[in-house]
């Protein structure tokens, strides 16, 4: 069998997947990803100063949006999109016209597997999304659809078809995704452990979703992938992907879809400043003690049969039950509704391709 590292297999889903990258600095990291990313369309969301020019390495097909573009496209609804925080990336999800999204941070590079081969993270995410999930019963050999594995003895046969996979959550070698207190206590810790598994996160179980290396089926779960109000003018940061992850999981559990975690790994190169992080996360450390029980006990009514309906209902419950934790959650709940309104405007149902949007520089 040919060594996969030397082959250039035909890219899967070339015209069905967009790569969304938030950036405030530069896109130099794309050079390393070129062999894997070049066939795909990129959506760059430029955070921070819109007058700065972000150079995209040559040869990539992309559209780029800065804050001016976001304001122009969304008008007043632009208030739901964060500024000076990578949470702004979810604007890219909204304007995409593709079925699948892969999002990655600009400090994430190609990792190597234990045999020294470069990992095509995108290809693994695609495999994860294209094969079913198994959230109702834990398979002790992890992903039963992987070559060389299967369901084990005792796994009910009626559950072996699995359910559609909505989210593929990848991991990171080198700089681990720790919160500020952990970073302060263990500044030298590096994740060197390559765990060769993909698994479904069981129904009813929440997890901390990291946005650094994440793919999802936009048609299934896109509207729930709102990354919240973070950064400039907000009392909290570094909880954008967490918030989206809790919402997404609750909705996937309700609608019967799967969320996978594990492979692929990327190489996370940059450790953010733990003191800055503590300032951003500070309120979150306390708030999450209320947020988690909230999400764990959320029930969505039976008539919430679409992601948007689920999300609007969730926003309502956020206001009702979390408004008392802090007024921030009232604003967030409103922003969640604004997000859905904006999503539906930009993605009217029944239209697979809407009219071309006035966007920023593109090729």
Of the candidate residues 118, 137, 357, 362, the single one contacting a second copy (CB under 8 A): 137
Contact segment (CB under 8 A) with a second copy among 68-76, 85-93, 195-203, 344-352 equals 195-203
Q: Which residue in the block uniquely carries the two structure tokens 């995704």?
A: 177
Of the candidate residues 4, 35, 204, 233, the single one contacting a second copy (CB under 8 A): 204
Residues of span 292-351 touching a second copy by CB under 8 A: 292
**Helices (H) and strands (E) in the chain — how many of each?**
10, 9
Calpha distance 221→302 (Å, rounded): 17
The single-letter DSSP state of residue 55 is P
* Least Å from the CB of residue 72 to a second copy: 33
Contact segment (CB under 8 A) with a second copy among 25-33, 125-133, 227-235, 238-246 equals 238-246
Measured from the CB atom, the residue of 194 and 328 that comes closer to a second copy is 194
How many residues touch a second copy under the rule CB under 8 A: the total is 59
Per rule CB under 8 A, is residue 188 in the interface with a second copy?
no
Per rule CB under 8 A, is residue 171 in the interface with a second copy?
yes
Measured from the CB atom, the residue of 278 and 346 that comes closer to a second copy is 278
- Cβ atoms < 10 Å from Cβ of 48: 18
Measured from the CB atom, the residue of 85 and 241 that comes closer to a second copy is 241
* Least Å from the CB of residue 191 to a second copy: 7
Site string for a second copy, 252-291 (x = CB under 8 A): ---------x-------------------x---x--xx--
DSSP per-residue codes, 236-290: --S-HHHHHHHHHHHHHHHHT-EEEEEEEEEEE--PPPHHHHHHHHHHHHHHHHH
Of the candidate residues 197, 306, 320, 354, the single one contacting a second copy (CB under 8 A): 197
Per rule CB under 8 A, is residue 158 in the interface with a second copy?
yes
Per rule CB under 8 A, is residue 189 in the interface with a second copy?
yes
Give the angle subtended at the CA of 56 by the CAs of 53 and 60, to the nearest 5°.
150
CB 50 within 8 A of CB 68: yes
Alpha helix segments (H runs only) across the chain: 30-37, 67-74, 90-95, 121-130, 180-185, 218-221, 240-255, 274-297, 307-322, 328-346
Calpha distance 14→99 (Å, rounded): 11
Give the angle subtended at the CA of 132 by the CAs of 99 and 147, to the nearest 5°.
115
Of the candidate residues 202, 271, 278, 334, the single one contacting a second copy (CB under 8 A): 202
CB 189 within 8 A of CB 309: no
Of the candidate residues 112, 207, 269, 278, the single one contacting a second copy (CB under 8 A): 207
Measured from the CB atom, the residue of 191 and 362 that comes closer to a second copy is 191
> Which residue in 243, 251, 223 sits closest to 332, CA to CA?
243
Per rule CB under 8 A, is residue 191 in the interface with a second copy?
yes
Tokens matching residue 325: 């934790």
* Least Å from the CB of residue 14 to a second copy: 29
Q: Give me the residues that bind a second copy (CB under 8 A), please.
A: 114, 137-142, 146, 148-159, 169, 171, 176-179, 181-182, 186, 189-197, 201-210, 238-239, 241-242, 245, 261, 281, 285, 288-289, 292
């Amino acid at each position: 069998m040919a060594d996969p590292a030397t082959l250039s297999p035909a890219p899967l889903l070339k015209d069905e997947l967009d790569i969304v990258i938030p950036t405030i600095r530069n896109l130099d990291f794309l050079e390393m990803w070129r062999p894997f990313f070049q066939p795909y369309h990129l959506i760059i969301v430029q955070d921070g100063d819109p007058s700065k020019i972000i150079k995209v390495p040559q040869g990539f097909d992309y559209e780029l949006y800065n804050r001016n573009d976001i304001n122009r496209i969304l008008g007043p609804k632009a208030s739901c999109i964060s500024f000076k925080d990578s949470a702004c990336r979810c604007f890219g999800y909204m304007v995409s016209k593709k079925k699948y999204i892969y999002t990655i941070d600009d400090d994430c590079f190609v990792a190597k597997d234990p045999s020294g081969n470069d990992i095509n993270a995108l290809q693994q995410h695609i495999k994860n999304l294209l094969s079913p999930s198994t959230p109702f019963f834990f398979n002790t050999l992890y992903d039963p659809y992987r070559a060389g594995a299967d369901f084990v003895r005792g796994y009910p046969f009626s559950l072996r078809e699995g359910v559609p996979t909505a989210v593929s959550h990848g991991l990171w070698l080198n700089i681990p995704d720790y919160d500020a207190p952990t970073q302060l206590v263990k500044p030298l810790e590096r994740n060197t452990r390559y765990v060769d598994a993909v698994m479904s996160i069981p129904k009813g179980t929440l997890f901390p979703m990291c946005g650094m290396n994440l793919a999802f089926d936009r048609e299934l779960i896109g509207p729930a992938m709102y990354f919240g109000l973070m950064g400039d003018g907000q009392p909290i940061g570094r909880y954008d992907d967490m918030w989206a992850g809790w919402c997404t999981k609750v909705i996937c559990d309700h609608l019967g879809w799967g969320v996978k975690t594990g492979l692929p790994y990327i190489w996370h190169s940059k450790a953010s400043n733990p003191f800055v992080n503590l300032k951003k996360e500070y309120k979150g450390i306390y708030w999450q003690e209320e947020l988690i029980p909230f999400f764990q006990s959320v029930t969505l009514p039976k008539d919430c049969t679409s992601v948007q309906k689920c999300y609007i209902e969730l926003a309502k419950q956020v206001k009702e039950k979390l408004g008392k934790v802090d007024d921030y959650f009232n604003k967030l709940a409103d922003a969640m509704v604004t997000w859905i309104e904006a999503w539906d405007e930009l993605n009217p149902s029944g239209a697979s391709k809407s009219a071309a949007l006035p966007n920023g520089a593109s090729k």
